[in-house]
């Protein structure tokens, strides 16, 4: 199976971002957190991937999920 590369574009004060990161940690999924609240380059990168300005934006091996959608996360990460 291909190694998972998970990136979460988030802000420190977003409750759905916090929930997303807790979900990943609880399921032992390693991820890179990219704080878009203080870096314009990261904001542009997130928008170019998702065409959205809302957070969280989750990139799983190039598949983009906007917002915390547990069922989609479980399906892509093969979590039961």
3 state DSSP class of 59: strand
CATH number reported for the structural domain that contains residue 55 in this entry: 3.40.30.10
Alpha carbons 80 and 56: distance in angstroms, whole number: 22
C-beta of residue 39 within 8 angstroms of C-beta of residue 47: no
What pLDDT is stored for residue 80 in this prediction? Answer: 85
Per-residue pLDDT of the chain (80 residues; tens, 9 = 90+): 568 899 999 999 999 999 999 999 999 999 999 999 999 999 999 999 999 999 999 999 999 999 999 999 999 999 98
What pLDDT is stored for residue 75 in this prediction? Answer: 94
For residue 41, the enclosing domain spans: 6-77
- 73 to 23, 42, 52, 67: CA distances (angstroms): 9, 22, 18, 10
Global pTM value: 0.93
Domain assignment of residue 31, yes or no: yes
Structure token digits, residue 13: 């004060």
Alpha carbons 80 and 70: distance in angstroms, whole number: 11
């Amino acid at each position: 199976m291909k190694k998972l590369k998970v990136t979460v574009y988030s802000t420190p004060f977003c409750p759905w971002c916090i929930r997303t990161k807790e979900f990943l940690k609880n399921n032992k999924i390693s991820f890179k957190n990219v704080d878009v609240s203080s870096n314009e380059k990261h904001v542009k990168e997130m928008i170019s991937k998702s065409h959205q300005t809302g957070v969280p934006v989750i990139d799983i091996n190039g598949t983009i999920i906007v917002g915390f959608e547990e069922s989609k996360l479980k399906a892509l990460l093969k979590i039961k």
